[in-house]
Amino acid sequence: MSLGPAEVAKIAHLARLAIREQDAPAYARNLSAILDLVAQMNAVDTTGVAPMAHPLDMAQRLRADEVTEPNQRAHFQTIAPQVEAGLYLVPKVIE
Amino acid sequence: MMEWETVIGLEIHAQLATQSKIFSGASTAYGAEPNTQACAIDLGMPGVLPVLNREAARMAVMLGLAIGADVAQRSVFARKNYFYPDLPKGYQISQYELPVVQKGQLTIDLEDGSSKVIGITRAHLEEDAGKSLHEDFHGLSGIDLNRAGTPLLEIVSEPDLRSAKEAVAYMKKLHQMVVYLGICDGNMQEGSFRCDANISVRRKGDPKFGTRAEIKNLNSFRFVERAIEFEIERQIDLIEAGGKVVQETRLYDPDKGETRSMRGKEEANDYRYFPDPDLLPLVLDDEFIAAARASLPELPDAKKQRFMTQYGLSSYDAGVLTTSRELGDYYEATVAALGGEPKLCANWVMGDFAAFLNKENRDIAQSPVSAAQLAGLLRRIQDQTISGKIAKEVFEALWAGESDADAIIEKRGLKQITDTSAIEKVIDDVIAANPEQLAQYRAGKDKLFGFFVGQVMKLSKGKANPQQVNELLAEKLKG
Amino acid sequence: MNSHLPAAMHDKTLTELSAGLAAGAFSSEELTRVFLARIEQFNPGLNAFITVTAEAALAQARAADARRQRGEAGPLTGVPIAHKDIFCTNGVRTSCGSRMLDRFIAPYDATVVEKLNAAGVVMLGKTNMDEFAMGSSNETSFYGPVRNPWDLDAVPGGSSGGSAAAVAARLVPGATGTDTGGSIRQPAALCGITGLKPTYGRVSRWGMIAYASSLDQGGPMARTAEDCALLLGAMAGFDLRDSTSVDRPVPDYVALLDRPLAGLKIGLPKEYFGEGLDSEVARVVEAAIAEYRKLGAETVEISLPNSQLAVPAYYVIAPAECSSNLARFDGVRYGHRCENPKDLLDLYTRSRAEGFGAEVTRRILVGTFALSAGYYDAYYLKAQQIRRLISDDFRRAFEQVDVIAGPTSPTVAFNLGEKVDDPITMYLSDIYTIAVNLAGLPGLSLPVGFVGQRPVGLQLIGHYFAEDRLLNVAHRYQQVTDWHRRAPAAFA
């Protein structure tokens, strides 16, 4: 499958990755090559085959409803890029 | 307007009343300092993993059973991927193709007394996001992730609602249900119960649905009604002017009373749902579901029906008294303590009791007057010790903290006067003091009867038995 | 220098060092100093370590010695190890080989780290790796490539290249690694050491920065199967914090090493010995298999017919999961943040573009595409169906055989820079290892010879939770051969 720079730009936006215009063609080529590799999956007919999401045939374990985590705000915020009054700061969120 | 039909579906997010988050052990308590209830998992730190809260699963099942839905014994968590600062992992853990609760229904009561069955498409578990605070931090927004990870149950209705009023009735019914079940505190100001409305219009008779707009985050019944009404008109006006309704997300502005398009959500989001590989399928065995079923309380409709048959109450009265479990319980305790008189109890619980609670913005749990105390008061009305009017004074005293009706009646000398001769004496005094009015009454001015009653009550300090006053006064005035 | 220390301490296996500590031949502090000195001397030429925690290591070593004095030591007490820089280590930088986390000081310990700490190990530092575990040569790291100690022009393999090189160069007797498509086994093979990827769910993923959640597993890398058995015993076990962790007792892997191999049925998949396999590598692997026959094992030709689909399916599933797992790196709560973002979109797109390298970017793009509207069925769903077919192939094979054997890698270590511009060729380095992750089975690589200077690894694949069997099968071979004792000349 062939992808061009325009498609790459769309995907990059979905993934919030800034791709320089000069790099877009190379990424487009790489992605197309990978998708060609992936297309080899079509060599086999998988109609009726149950998809396998996990190697384990297990059910989700349930946890008791208890508060077990203390307040560690100071600890976690030592590595934060920008905080004030205990809040994480980001450019204005427009709603 | 006659030629148009409105189609509405509601998506309601109910915050489940668990102690800890859906996937972590951090607290869900409301009102904490920012980010003091956001653990590594809630912050989306590298390397963290989710583990499901059993209580959230149980609460979802309770709702499913209460709406007569199929509870999926196997459901799957999926990632809904998008970027937003209040979404720490860059995805929300939700349920997509296989939700825990499948088709159910809720019966709503319409204003004309009829009822309508509203379909519920599904209900699924998911985690809440954090909050953005827009007060200026030098032009920046502040993100609080305390709320991130709080369990939500998203309940999706079929597009069966046909008016703003129906939508509100449905929302109120569902609100009542989740509070009854004890799975949600229903506090809309705190964001425990939020509503998104999908609205479209079509010409009557058109089998196809029109293009719908979604109005997000309506957090009061009033706003829901107004927003929907505005939106219906907006869409109709738009189409009649030759325009087309755009499928988009809109916000309701309560100050302006209008909906507007949400800036910043230009393109439709591609959420790229896929099963969350950090979680395994949620398998609920028969035992789990049976235990949930066994713990269901008497549901609102059933309770209302029972109140009508057991206590002989009207549909309206039964409806008011079963608005909440607490009110229903209080009512029943009052009747039990009094040993009967369901109508009298109903009047007082719905009347003075409710009025006092509302005035002071109290929950029943905080009522200074217990059901037993109220019953004690009502007993004295029942046995004619006091009149209904005096009882109001006694109730006020009880509310203020005095211990019981009898003590108050005794202390303040409030016993009703039922002695005929005593009442006659008062009447005689009143008649003697008001010769003009007597003459006018006897001349035909019947309205003055009320005047005389008033004077008798005043002179007797309200203690004369009203019925006897009426009878005796009528006789004496006749002359 | 301590003259009483046995010569070539660094050449002893982890097991031998454990015995030496227990016998009081040397202290943990002495041992730790030996390895720290070697790291200081040799790491600049190898770039195997991103962070060296010398002071903390010495403190841990002293504490270990004190425990030993009190009679509280276990087999791993005081033994120096290194952690792949993908495991969160509280208070210590955890970079994942990426600029995105270059200044990230982990605020908590991974379960693997906690467990090994509880066993008393001494952490010397964090090893280099392909960025976010995406790579097969350790050339995508923000911190520069790692060199293969056997030939400094060659790659060590990846993504656990730093751990493999550090062990092979005797900078540390054992290390942790992670394996999503072969990232423990392939570098182990290319560096001539032993590495094990456990069954999915055997080792907790809590604190192990996620690449592809349904494929990732942490495991031991050391010079011998015996060493790996010791490490795995401490690393493995049920963890309440990981929903995909399996509640199953951990066997005493060391005690189970010596079982005889007579009657063992080894399956040889014909698909693993055909086109794509270097003929010299094939020769070395055949010789190793012949050795197994001498040990009493029986070989059976089997077929894993859907083998060719493993790499294509992997390159949908892993990127898809990673595109979602890496969405949290947005410059808001930790990690790299761009300077002066002009708005939210700029914050995201620029922080992420500056933080991630080209390979990570490629995989995020592929993954995003595969999950996007209209493509989910054709890509992601299809890949999960192929995964089922591959698992079924193995299941059928294990009805006939006890273990499956073959080359770990189709070639020996290639040169630095050789495949870096051709992602597809790079991806094909993992053709023998990837299927094992898709099925969630355990896999091990052990050194079985050389082509020129560059090591060759034999891969053993076992049934679910048969790590004990794999370690046993590898150990018996290591008792009658000495490939695992060879040291690269520059680091002997």
Cα C347 to Cα C341: distance, rounded to the nearest angstrom:
5
Least confident range of B74-78, B223-227, B268-272: B268-272
User: Strands, DSSP E only, in B207-341?
Assistant: 213-218, 249-253, 258-261, 274-275, 282-283
Residue C71 backbone class (left: φ over 0; alpha: ψ -120 to 50; beta: rest):
left
User: What's the angle, vertex CA C93, arms to CA C92 and CA C98, rounded to 5?
Assistant: 160
Residues B100 and B200 in one domain: yes
A6, with CB counted inside 10 A (0-12, 13-18, 19+), is exposed
* CB of B53 closer than 8 Å to CB of C243: no
**On the CB side of C46, how many CA atoms lie within 13 Å of its CA?**
33
Provide the shortest C-alpha distance from residue A77 to chain B (in Å). 9
CA atoms within 13 A on the CB side of C483: 31
Q: Where are the beta strands (DSSP E) in C37-114?
A: 49-52, 80-84
Which domain does B469 fall in, by range? 420-478
C-beta atoms of C368 and A15 within 8 A? yes
* Paired tokens of B52: 């499901």
* One domain, residues B224 and B245: yes
What pLDDT is attached to residue C1? 43
Q: Which residue of A has its CA nearest to B23?
A: A63
What are the chain A neighbours of B76 within 8 Å (beta carbons)?
53
According to the model, what pLDDT value does residue B414 have?
A: 86
Is the pTM value of this prediction over 0.95?
no
Residues of chain A with Cβ-Cβ distance to B35 below 8 Å are 73, 76-77, 86-88
Q: Which residues lie across from A63 on neighbouring strands?
A: B53
pLDDT at C2: 47
Residue B28 lies in a domain: yes
Partnered with residue C75 across adjacent β-strands are none
Split into its structural domains, chain A has a count of 1
SS3 B151: strand
The two three-digit tokens of residue B410, written as one number: 């005794």
Residues of C in contact with A14 (CB under 8 A): 368, 372
First-to-last alpha carbon distance for chain C, in angstroms, is 18
Both B87 and B140 in a single domain? Answer: yes
Residue B30: CB atoms within 10 Å:
15
Question: Which domain-ending residue is among B396, B412, B428?
Answer: B412
Question: What are the tens digits of pLDDT across the range B159-174?
Answer: 999 999 999 999 999 9
Which residues, including other chains, have CB under 8 Å from residue C367's CB and lie 6 or more apart? C316, C318, C319, C320, C321, C322, C323, C324
Dihedral (C-alpha) C352, C356, C362, C365: value to the nearest 10 degrees?
-20
Contact yes or no for C330/B83 (Cβ under 8 A): yes
Report the number of distinct structural domains present in chain B.
3
- Say yes or no for a CB contact (<8 Å) between A95 and B142: no
Q: Which of C125, C139, C1 is nearest to C60 (CA)?
A: C125
Termini Cα distance of chain A: 38
pLDDT at B263: 58
pLDDT at residue C113, as a whole number: 98
Looking at the structure, do residues B98 and B161 belong to the same domain, yes or no? Answer: yes
- Whether chain B has a CB inside 8 Å of the CB on C103: the answer is no
pLDDT at C228: 98
Are the CB atoms for B65 and B293 separated by under 8 Å?
A: yes
pLDDT of residue B264: 46
Tally of residues, chain C: 492
- Kindly report the nearest CA distance between residue B52 and chain A, in angstroms: 5
- CA distances to B352, B465, B466, B476, C305 from B457, rounded to whole Å, are 22, 9, 8, 16, 102
Cβ-defined contact of C108 to B40 (cutoff 8 Å): yes
- How much of chain B is helix, strand and coil, in % rounded to 5? 40, 20, 40
| Helix, strand and coil in chain A, % to nearest 5 | 40, 10, 50
Residue window 186-205, chain C: list those with CB within 8 Å of chain B.
205
Residue A60 lies in a domain: no
User: Hey, what are C421's tokens?
Assistant: 């511009």
Structure tokens at C56: 């903390």
Do B374 and B256 have their domain in common?
no
The dihedrals phi and psi of B156, each to the nearest 5 degrees, come to -110, 125
Q: Give A3's contacts (C-beta < 8 A, 6+ positions apart).
A: A11, A28, A31, A32, A35, C369
**E strands in B82-191:** 91-95, 104-109, 115-127, 131-137, 140-144, 151-157
Query: Closest-CA residue in chain A for B266?
Result: A95
Query: Is residue A58 assigned to a domain?
Result: no
Shortest distance, CA C437 to any CA of chain B (angstroms): 14
Tokens of B272: 């790229």
Closest CA to C160 of C83, C226, C103: C83
Per-residue pLDDT reduced to its tens digit, B10-66 = 999 999 999 999 999 999 999 999 999 999 999 999 999 999 999 999 999 999 999
Size of interface B-C (CB pairs under 8 A): 97
Say yes or no: B399 and B428 in one domain.
Answer: no
Largest CA distance in chain B: 97
B72-86, B444-458, C429-443: which range is least confident on average? B444-458
DSSP string, B214-242: EEEEE-SHHHHHHHHHHHHHHHHHHHHTT
Tokens of C330: 């947005």
Q: Measure the CA angle with vertex B115, ends B114 and B120; round to 5°.
A: 160
Strands B77-81 and B115-127, by their bridges, are unpaired
C-alpha dihedral (B291, B292, B294, B296), degrees to nearest 10: 170
Residue B135's pLDDT band, with cuts at 50, 70 and 90, is confident
Of A13, A38, A52, Cβ closest to residue C387: A52
With CB atoms and an 8 Å threshold, state whether C104 touches B46.
yes
Q: Find the CATH number of the domain harbouring C51.
A: 3.90.1300.10
pLDDT digit string, tens, across residues C79-118: 999 999 999 999 999 999 999 999 999 999 999 999 999 9
Per residue of chain C (492 residues), what is the pLDDT tens digit?
Answer: 444 566 689 999 999 999 999 999 999 999 999 999 999 999 999 999 999 999 999 999 999 999 999 999 999 999 999 999 999 999 999 999 999 999 999 999 999 999 999 999 999 999 999 999 999 999 999 999 999 999 999 999 999 999 999 999 999 999 999 999 999 999 999 999 999 999 999 999 999 999 999 999 999 999 999 999 999 999 999 999 999 999 999 999 999 999 999 999 999 999 999 988 999 999 999 999 999 999 999 999 999 999 999 999 999 999 999 999 999 999 999 999 999 999 999 999 999 999 999 999 999 999 999 999 889 999 999 999 999 999 999 999 999 999 999 999 999 999 999 998 888 888 888 999 999 999 999 999 999 999 999 999 999 999 999 999 999 999 999 999 999 999 999 998
Question: Is residue B220 included in any domain, yes or no?
Answer: yes
How many Cβ atoms are within 10 Å of B131's Cβ, its own excluded?
19
Question: Given B356, B380, B412, which residue is the final one in a domain?
Answer: B412
The CA–CA distances, whole Å, from C38 to C41, C85, C190, C490, C491 equal: 5, 19, 21, 12, 9
Nearest alpha-carbon partner for C484 in C154, C135, C174, C179 = C174
**Any catalytic annotation for residue C3?**
no
Block residue for tokens 């009023």: B165
Name the residue among C332, B284, B278 with its Cα closest to residue A62: B284
pLDDT for res A95 = 58
Q: Cβ–Cβ contacts within 10 Å for residue B315, how many?
A: 13
B113 inside domain? yes
Instruction: Return the partners of chain C (3 or more C-beta pairs < 8 Å).
Output: A, B
Write down the pLDDT at residue C424.
Answer: 84
Opening angle at CA A78, ends A74 and A84, nearest 5: 75
Has residue B388 got a pLDDT over 80?
yes
Sign of CA dihedral B368, B371, B373, B379: positive
Query: Which of B20, B83, B145, B267 to substitute to test the interface with C, most C CBs within 10 Å?
Result: B83
Residue A78 lies in a domain: no
A80: chain B residues, CB-CB within 8 Å = none
Q: What is the distance between the alpha carbons of residues C11 and C19, in angstroms, rounded to a whole number?
A: 14
Residue B139 above 90 pLDDT?
no
User: Within 10 A of A40 (CB to CB), how many other CB atoms are there?
Assistant: 15
Considering only alpha carbons, which residue of chain A is nearest residue B260? A95
Residues B443 and B406 in one domain: no
Domain presence at residue A62: no
Structure tokens at A2: 């062939």
CATH of the domain at B458: 1.10.10.410
How far apart CA B431 and CA B420 sit, in angstroms, is: 16
The pLDDT of residue B467 is 87
User: C88 touching B, CB under 8 A?
Assistant: yes
Question: Please, are residues C178 and C219 in contact by the beta-carbon 8 Å criterion?
Answer: yes
- Asked if C268 and C209 touch (Cβ cutoff 8 Å), the reply is no
Q: Is C159 a catalytic residue?
A: yes
| CB contact C201 to A (< 8 Å) | yes
- Residue C202: Cβ-neighbour burial (10 angstroms; 0-12, 13-18, 19+): buried
B432 three-class SS:
helix
Given the residues C84, C115, C126, C419, select the one marked as catalytic: C84
Q: How many CB atoms lie within 10 A of CB B436?
A: 8
| C369 CB neighbour count, 10 Å cutoff | 27
CB B438 within 8 A of CB B458: no
Orientation of helix B448-459 relative to helix B466-478, angle to 10°: 120
Closest by CA to B230, choosing from B270, B197, B264, B186, is B197
Q: Indicate the residue among B377, B412, B447 that finishes a domain.
A: B412
Domain count, chain C: 1
CA–CA distance, B28 with B56 (Å, rounded to integer): 12
Task: Show which of residues 255-274 on chain B sit within 8 Å of chain A, judged by CB atoms.
Answer: 262-264, 270, 272
| Chain A residues in contact with C441 (beta carbon < 8 A) | 55
- And the tokens for B273? 């749902």
Active site residue C213: no
End-to-end CA distance of chain B: 64
Segments forming the whole domain that contains residue C111:
1-492
Q: Which residues contact C31 (CB under 8 A, 6 or more apart)?
A: C9, C17, C20, C21, C61, C78, C79, C80
pLDDT band at B262 (very low <50, low <70, confident <90, very high): confident
